[in-house]
Amino acid sequence: MIRPTALLLAAMLTVAAHAAYDEKADAKADVRQALTSAKAEKKPMLIIFGANWCKDCMALDQALTTPANAAVMREFKVVKVDVGDFDRNLDVVNAYGNPIKKGIPAAVVVNAADGRVLYATQGGELANARKMSDSGVQDFFKDVLAKAK
């Protein structure tokens, strides 16, 4: 018989192994670094705001690794920012117009050359990521990329 403590430890390790959002990251530094890289690579920067407890955030993160979606993601310099329970890195969130106000995951595309926001989710567009197909995610980000150019 497996002990409850062992089950809890196994569950915690599973979550930690699949954590998409670094809860201890310096989000401001990560965004600055991504912006610098995006500028050098002449790509728009994509910030994805989310949290590891959020099933839609995890579904989106998983969907972005499919071959078709990974190809679209290569068009951006991507940085992920953990928002915790809507209580972490809110200064970064607010610097980009509070795209999480209608839910997470949320996304912002920034012109790396001048730091201008080219696109930001405002209506919870990705908040049902679990229900989006891989092609739906791909179409969403292709549309966002087109708006960013």
Q: All domains of the chain, ordered by start, with CATH?
A: 41-148 (3.40.30.10)
Stated pTM of the model = 0.86
H or E stretch at 93 = helix 90-95
Percentage with pLDDT > 90 across the chain = 81
Residues 19-44: pLDDT tens digits?
Answer: 899 999 999 999 999 999 999 999 99
pLDDT at 18: 61
